[in-house]
């Protein structure tokens, strides 16, 4: 039996199909037609539980202290200036002060109380409702932490752990219970981070220049 030469062996080997190899390279592009769904049943329940716990840690007995505390003397007074039309020099961007003024308007404040440090709140100032409105920005930090970690491809357990770090942080709990600017600042910072991570995820898995692509890009600020 004669041995086959290398030339004869090469003639019998099947040549790779050009169309097949092109399809193998082009098939991964189909994964960009959709964004992975992160809002399944388990995630919704986790968000509900984390939000309820956040509401409890931020709102429990929030109106117990009936005196002007800490920087409420500054920011409550500046919010009242917007209500009564008093001009003043503000060192900060006005967004957070306008949110304080909005909380005072919703609470029925007429802008006459001067928020002197340590003074008791009069009966016509619904300070509890003001604090509740400002604390909601701190409440939202917990679910935002969970959603951001999910968008970073973390597991549910790690995302829940990160959210619990925010949930039980003593400084965040304390700042959420008064009329301050810290919680709106942290809220919009967390929103920007979540939007940036979501935009990156849509850019990777979705269609660029789509509605969601532009939405997340604009939400980054």
What does the pLDDT average to over 158-171? 96
Q: Are 35 and 202 in contact (CB under 8 A)?
A: yes
Angle, in degrees to the nearest 10, between helices 141-151 and 156-167: 150
pLDDT at 144: 97
Nearest to 153 by CA among 35, 47, 51: 35
Nearest to 130 by CA among 113, 150, 153: 113
Mean pLDDT of the chain: 85
**Can you list the alpha helix ranges (DSSP code H) found in the chain?**
6-12, 18-26, 41-59, 72-84, 95-106, 127-139, 141-151, 156-167, 170-175, 182-205, 211-219
Per-residue pLDDT band for 208 (boundaries 50, 70, 90) equals: confident
What does the pLDDT average to over 29-36? 42
Backbone angles phi and psi of 67, in degrees to 5: -120, 160
pTM exceeds cut of 0.75: yes
Does 183 score more than 90 pLDDT? Answer: yes
What SS3 state is found at 206?
coil
Within 10 angstroms of residue 218's Cβ, the number of other Cβ atoms is: 10
Does 160 score more than 60 pLDDT? Answer: yes
Q: Is the dihedral of CA 63, 65, 68, 72 positive or negative?
A: negative
State how far the Cα of 186 lies from the Cα of 56, in Å rounded to an integer.
19
What does the pLDDT average to over 130-136? 97
């Amino acid at each position: 039996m004669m041995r086959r030469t290398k030339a004869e062996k090469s003639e019998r080997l099947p040549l790779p199909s050009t169309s097949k190899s092109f399809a193998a390279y082009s098939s991964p592009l189909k994964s960009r037609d959709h964004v992975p769904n992160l809002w399944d049943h388990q995630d919704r329940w986790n968000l509900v539980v984390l939000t309820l716990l956040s509401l409890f840690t931020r709102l429990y007995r929030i109106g117990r202290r009936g005196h002007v505390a800490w920087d409420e003397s500054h920011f409550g007074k500046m919010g009242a200036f917007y209500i009564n039309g008093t001009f003043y020099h503000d060192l900060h961007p006005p967004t957070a002060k306008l949110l304080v003024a909005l909380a005072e308007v919703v609470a029925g404040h007429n802008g006459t109380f001067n928020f002197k440090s340590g003074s008791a709140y009069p009966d016509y100032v619904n300070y509890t409702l003001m604090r509740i409105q400002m604390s909601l920005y701190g409440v939202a930090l917990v679910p935002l932490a969970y959603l951001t970690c999910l968008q970073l491809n973390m597991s549910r357990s790690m995302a829940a752990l990160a959210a619990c770090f925010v949930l039980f942080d003593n400084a965040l709990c304390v700042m959420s219970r008064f009329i301050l600017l810290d919680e709106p600042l942290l809220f919009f910072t967390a929103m920007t981070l979540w939007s940036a991570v979501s935009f990156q995820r849509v850019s990777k898995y979705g269609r660029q220049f789509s509605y969601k692509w532009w939405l997340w890009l604009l939400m980054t600020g």
